Structure 1
Amino acid sequence: MSRFRKLSHTIWHCQYHIVWVPKYRHRILTGNVGHEVGNCIRVFSQQKEIEIVEMNIQPDHIHLLAMIPPKVSVSDYCGMVKGRSAIRVFNKFKELKQRPYWGNHFWTEGYCVDTVGLDSEMIRKYVKYQETQERRMEQRSLF
Structure 2
Amino acid sequence: MIAWSTGWEVEYLRGRHVVSAMHVHLVFVTKYRTNVFNDAMPRRCEDIMIEVCDSFEAELREFNGEHDHVHLLVHYPPKMAVSKLVNSLKGVSSHYLRKEFTSRINPAITHGPFWSPSYLAASCGEAPPSIIKTYIEQQRRPT
Q: Retained in 1: the 8 A contact 2:14–2:20?
A: yes
Q: Which amino acid aligns with 1:72?
A: M
Q: Retained in 2: the 8 A contact 1:13–1:67?
A: yes
**Where do 1:50-65 residues align within 5 Å?**
50-65=58-73
Q: Does 1:112 align with 2:120?
A: yes
- 2:36 is aligned, of 18, 25, 28, to 28
Alignment correspondent of 2:92 = 84
Alpha-carbon offset, residue 47 of structure 1: 2.0
C-alpha distance in 2, partners of 1:98/1:66? 29
Q: Does 1:72 align with 2:72?
A: no
Alpha-carbon offset, residue 101 of structure 1: 4.1
Unaligned runs of 5+ in 1: 121-143
Q: Retained in 2: the 8 A contact 1:97–1:103?
A: no
Q: Which amino acid aligns with 1:53?
A: R
Going by fraction, where is strand more abundant, 1 or 2?
Answer: 2
Identity of aligned residues (%): 24
Q: Does 1:43 align with 2:60?
A: no
1:64-107 per-residue CA deviation (whole Å, 9 max, x = no partner) reads 11111111111000100100111111221233566124441100
Q: Retained in 1: the 8 A contact 2:13–2:20?
A: yes
Q: TM (normalized to structure 1)?
A: 0.74
Alignment correspondent of 2:132 = none
Q: Which amino acid aligns with 2:90?
A: K
Q: Retained in 2: the 8 A contact 1:16–1:115?
A: yes
C-alpha distance in 1, partners of 2:100/2:29? 19
Q: Which amino acid aligns with 1:56?
A: N
Q: Which amino acid aligns with 2:37?
A: L
Unaligned runs of 5+ in 2: 129-143
Going by fraction, where is helix more abundant, 1 or 2?
Answer: 1
Alpha-carbon offset, residue 57 of structure 1: 2.0
Q: Which amino acid aligns with 2:97?
A: V
User: What RMSD over aligned residues (CA atoms) do the two structures have, in Å?
Assistant: 2.0
Q: TM (normalized to structure 2)?
A: 0.74
C-alpha distance in 2, partners of 1:40/1:22? 16
